[in-house]
Structure 1
Amino acid sequence: MSKAGRKALEEAVDSGNPELELQDKHIVKIEDLPGLFSMEHVTRLTLSHNRLVSLPPAIANLANLEILNLFDNHLEELPVAISSLNKLRILNVGMNRLDTLPRGFGSFPVLEVLDFTYNNISEETLPGNFFMLESLRALYMGDNDFEVLSPEIKNFKNLQILVVRENDLVDLPREIGELARLRELHVQGNRLQVLPPEIGNLDLQSSKSCLRLDSNPWVPMIADQLLLGTSHVLEMLRNQSYKFVYQRHLQTNAQYPPKNREAKERKISRVKPQLA
C-alpha cells in the first residue's frame, strides 16, 4: 500500500471519521490495512480502484457499514459473511472478476443499491435466495453473462432501476411487467428479438423515465417502431397485433442469435491479474 493509503487510514483512526476513503491506494491485501476491522464506527468504506484479490470474512466486523464500494479491483469471490452486514444500503462490486455471488447473499435486510456490473455472473451462479432482496431500488447487472432472467424478479417490488445491458439475454420474463415502480429499464446490447407485452404496462414514458432498447436483433415490428422512438414501441406492446406476433414467436421456438464469444473472452474480467 502507498504512503498516502497508510496516512489516510491513520487519519481516519485518529479522527473517528465514519467515512473511510481508500480509493486508488495500490492496496493488494486487506491485511495491509491494520486495525481496519476494529473500526466499528465506520459507515462508509471506499476501496475502489485498487488491486484487491480477496475480501476476508472479517468484513462482517464492520457492523455499522452502510456503503461499501469495491469497484475496479481483482476480486474473484466474496465471502459468505458479507451478507451479515445488516445495515448495508449500497454495495458496489462492479468491474471485478466475480463468477458467482456467495451463498445467502439475498439476506441483506435493507440493501437498496446493488451494482455488479462488468463481471462474469450468470443466472446459473446466482445464490438461491437472491430474489429475496425486496428492499432493492436499483440493480445494475450489465456486462455479465445472463441469458435469461428468473420470473422471480417480480419479488423486487421496490425496484426503480434495472440495468441488464450487454449480457447474452435472449428472453425477458413477463413478470417484469409486475414491477410497478420501475422507471428505468436498460436492455441494450443483448440478443433479444421480442419484448413481453406486459412491459407496455409500466410507466416508462414520463420525463423522469428511461427505456433503452438499442443494439438488439429485434423482430421487424419492434425495429420499425424503435426508429420512431421508444414511446412508439411501448404503445405497440399494448395492441393485439403485437401480442399475436409475440405468442407466435414463442410457439415457433425461433432460433436465437449467436453469442459474441470473442468479445466476451476479451473482457478484462476474464483475464487473471498479474500482481507485483
Structure 2
Amino acid sequence: MSKVRKIIDEAKESKNPELDLVDKGISSFDEIPSILTMFNLTRITLTHNRISVVTPALANLTNLEILNLFNNQVEELPTSLSSMPKLRILNLGMNKLSALPRGFGAFPVLEVLDLTYNNLNENSLPGNFFMIETLRALYLGDNDFESIPSEIGHLKNLQILVLRDNDIVELPKEIGELARLRELHIQGNRLSVLPPELGNLDLTSNKSVIRMENNPWVAPIADQLQVGISHVVDYLRSETYKFVHGRHAVTQAPNRVSEKRDRSVSVA
C-alpha cells in the first residue's frame, strides 16, 4: 500500500481536489483512512478495487462532487451517502448491491446515478428513490428488474434512462411524463408491448436515441421496428395501436394473476 500512501500524500501536499486510486488492490476504507480528512476533495475515483463496505464517514467530505466506485464488491451502502450536499455523479456500477438503503433518494443535487451490473430489482428500491428531482441520467441496466414503478414519472429532469438487459415485462405509462427524455435503452428485456403514452415523447429527433431490440414484441410492433424506430413511435401514437394495447392488457391480466399465484406458492 506504499504506492497508495504516496498518491494520497502527494494529493494532500499539492491540495489536488481530485484523487485517483484506480486498480490499487484496496479492499477497505480502513486502508486509506487519511482520505476521510481531505475535505477539499471534489472527485474520488476508486474503480477496479475490492471494496465491499462503503464507510458512512465518506459523507463528511462535503465538497465531493464525483464518487466513482465502479467494479468493486460493494454489497451495502450507508444512508449517509444521500446527504452529501454537492454530490452530482455517483457510479456504483458492477458491484454486488441487492438493495439500497432507506432514504437513498434524498440526494440534493445528484445528476447521474449508475447502478449497472448489480443484483437490484423493483423491491430493492427505497420508497423515495424516484424523488431525486435533479437526476438527468439513470442507469439500471444488467440487473433483475421485472417491472419499473410508476413513480418513475416523478423524475421530470431525466434525459437518459437505461433499462437494458433486465427481465422487464412491461413499462408504466408514467414514462410518457418524462418530457425531457432523449435517450431510452430497453433492449434485451421481455417486453411485448409499450405504453401508448411513450408516443408523447420526442424520441425520433437527430439528438435522440431509442434502443429496443431483443424483446418478444407483438407482431405489429416487430413489423414497424423492421422499418425503423420512427415508425414504431408513430405507430404508438395511432388509434389502432391504442386498441391493440388495450386488447393485449385484457388478455394478459389472467396470466399475470396466475404467475403471481405460482410465485407465492413456490415461496411458501
Fold conserved between structures, TM > 0.5: yes
2:68 maps to what in 1? 69
Separation (CA, whole Å) in 1 of partners of 2:239 and 2:56 = 53
2:219 maps to what in 1? 220
Separation (CA, whole Å) in 2 of partners of 1:7 and 1:232 = 57
Separation (CA, whole Å) in 2 of partners of 1:55 and 1:200 = 41
2:5 maps to what in 1? 6
2:132 maps to what in 1? 133
Retained in 1: the 8 A contact 2:52–2:73? yes
Structure 1 vs Structure 2 CA RMSD? 1.2
Name the TM-score, length of structure 2 as normaliser.
Answer: 0.93
Can you list the C-alpha shifts for 1:241-264, whole angstroms capped at 9, x where unaligned? 1110100110112657x9xxxxxx
Separation (CA, whole Å) in 2 of partners of 1:112 and 1:84 = 14
SS at match of 1:252: helix
C-alpha deviation, 1:49, in angstroms: 0.6
Separation (CA, whole Å) in 2 of partners of 1:104 and 1:152 = 15
C-alpha deviation, 1:35, in angstroms: 1.0
Amino acid at match of 2:78: P
Separation (CA, whole Å) in 2 of partners of 1:99 and 1:37 = 26
Matching of residues 51-66 of structure 1 within 5 Å: 51-66=50-65
Q: Where is the helix percentage greater, Structure 1 or Structure 2?
A: 2
Separation (CA, whole Å) in 2 of partners of 1:100 and 1:86 = 23
C-alpha deviation, 1:200, in angstroms: 1.0
Separation (CA, whole Å) in 2 of partners of 1:59 and 1:189 = 36
1:82 maps to what in 2? 81
Q: Which runs of 5+ in 1 are unaligned?
A: 259-276
Q: How many percent identity over aligned positions?
A: 62
Matching of residues 73-112 of structure 1 within 5 Å: 73-112=72-111
Name the TM-score, length of structure 1 as normaliser.
Answer: 0.91
C-alpha deviation, 1:19, in angstroms: 0.6
Can you list the C-alpha shifts for 1:5-33, whole angstroms capped at 9, x where unaligned? 22211111111100111111111111111
Amino acid at match of 2:102: R
Q: Which runs of 5+ in 2 are unaligned?
A: 260-268
Amino acid at match of 2:126: P
Retained in 1: the 8 A contact 2:99–2:120? yes
Q: How many matched pairs? A: 256
C-alpha deviation, 1:201, in angstroms: 1.3
SS at match of 2:90: strand
2:19 maps to what in 1? 20
Retained in 1: the 8 A contact 2:83–2:108? no
1:202 and 2:228 correspond: no
Can you list the C-alpha shifts for 1:198-248, whole angstroms capped at 9, x where unaligned? 111111111110000000000001001101111110010011111101001
Can you list the C-alpha shifts for 1:77-131, whole angstroms capped at 9, x where unaligned? 1111111211100000000000011111100010000000000011111011101
Amino acid at match of 2:134: S
Matching of residues 106-255 of structure 1 within 5 Å: 106-253=105-252, 255=255
